[in-house]
């Protein structure tokens, strides 16, 4: 859930309390709350294939793999959630997060490799900070431009979310 979701959930409930048209706005509040609690339909699209245990839309910020992301979704920028857009280069080093896959109830280690060499895509900005740490703990810090050190230097375009393993300890 992004801060927009939380904001509108709370705002709608407040409006419901304050409004004389309680039934109408209260209904809106319930709808928003419902949106927040069940944000995704179980639709999966991975390169056009149905993957039943990888639920969600990779072009949506609510997709489970994006639990610790901070950036533009490559799925909206000509790439996919695991591949960079044409003309960019994937950063070799990055930060990792641990996300729970609701499809199989397992925690996966996700590598958020940035795609570099074109300016900011500007589409599908997504900030979710589960497990995010300050930049003095860089391995878990999403506030760093991880294009640094790659062959395209620090020109940031978008971010991917690549499974690198199952976290058995989570």
Partner 1 sequence: MLKRPLLALLAALTFPGAAFSADLPEDPMGEVVTFSRQDHDRLVWVTDMNMPHQAHGRGYLIDPDTGAFLAMLDLGYWTTGIELPSDGARILSAETHFSRTTRGERSDVLVTYDAKTFQPLGEISIPPKRASVVKMQGTSALSDDDRFFAQMNFTPAVSLTLIDMDRNEFVAEIDTPGCPNVFGGGDRHFHLLCGDGTFLTLTFNDEGAVLNKERSDTLFDPFEDPISISGVRSGTHWYFVSLAGDLYDIEMDAEGVRLAATWPLISPDERQDEWSISGFQHLAIHRPSNKLYLLTHQGPPETFEDPGTHVWVFDLATQAKSDGYELAERTISIAVSQDDAPLLYGIGAHIPMPLLAQIWIYLTEGEAPLIETVQFGLDVYDAEDGSYQRTISQLGHLPSMIQPW
Q: Considering 95, 132, 153, 167, which one is annotated as catalytic?
A: 95
Question: What is the C-alpha end-to-end distance of the chain, expressed in Å?
Answer: 21
Window 97 to 116, contacts with partner 1 (CB under 8 A): none
Give the orientation angle of helix 22-37 with respect to helix 3-18, to 10 degrees.
160
CB of 125 to partner 1, least distance (A): 7
CB of 53 to partner 1, least distance (A): 24
- 95 classed as catalytic: yes
- The per-residue b/e assignment along 132-144, b for 16 or more CB within 10 angstroms, e otherwise, is beeeeeeeebbee
Decide: is 148 part of the binding site for partner 1 (CB under 8 A). yes
Is 56 in contact with 41 (CB distance < 8 Å)?
no
If the CB atoms of residues 38 and 52 are measured against partner 1, the closer one turns out to be 38
Decide: is 127 part of the binding site for partner 1 (CB under 8 A). yes
- 62 classed as catalytic: no
Stretch that binds partner 1, among 50-58, 78-86, 101-109, 121-129 (CB under 8 A): 121-129
Measured CA angle at 104 (ends 101, 110), to 5 deg: 30
Window 50 to 89, contacts with partner 1 (CB under 8 A): 70, 72
List the strands of the sheet with 89-90, edge to edge: 89-90, 114-116, 156-159
Measured CA angle at 136 (ends 130, 139), to 5 deg: 55
Catalytic residue IDs:
95, 114
Q: Which residues of the chain form contacts with partner 1 (CB under 8 A)?
A: 2-8, 10-12, 15, 28, 31-32, 35, 70, 72, 93, 117-122, 124-125, 127-138, 143-149, 152-156
């Amino acid at each position: 859930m992004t801060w927009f979701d939380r904001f509108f959930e709370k705002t709608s409930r407040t409006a419901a309390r304050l409004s004389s048209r309680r039934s109408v706005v209260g209904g809106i509040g319930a709808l928003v709350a419902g949106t927040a609690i069940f944000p995704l339909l179980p639709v999966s699209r991975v390169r056009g294939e149905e993957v039943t245990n990888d639920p969600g839309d990779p072009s949506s910020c609510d997709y489970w793999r994006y639990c610790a992301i901070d950036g533009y979704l490559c799925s909206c920028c000509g790439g996919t959630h695991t591949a960079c857009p044409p003309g960019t280069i994937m950063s070799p080093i990055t930060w990792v997060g641990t996300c729970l896959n609701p499809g199989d109830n397992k925690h996966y280690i996700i590598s958020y490799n940035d795609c570099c060499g074109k300016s900011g895509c500007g589409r599908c900005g997504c900030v979710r900070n589960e497990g995010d740490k300050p930049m003095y703990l860089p391995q878990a810090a999403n506030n760093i431009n991880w294009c640094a050190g790659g062959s395209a230097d620090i020109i940031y375009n978008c971010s991917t979310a690549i499974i690198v393993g199952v976290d058995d300890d989570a």
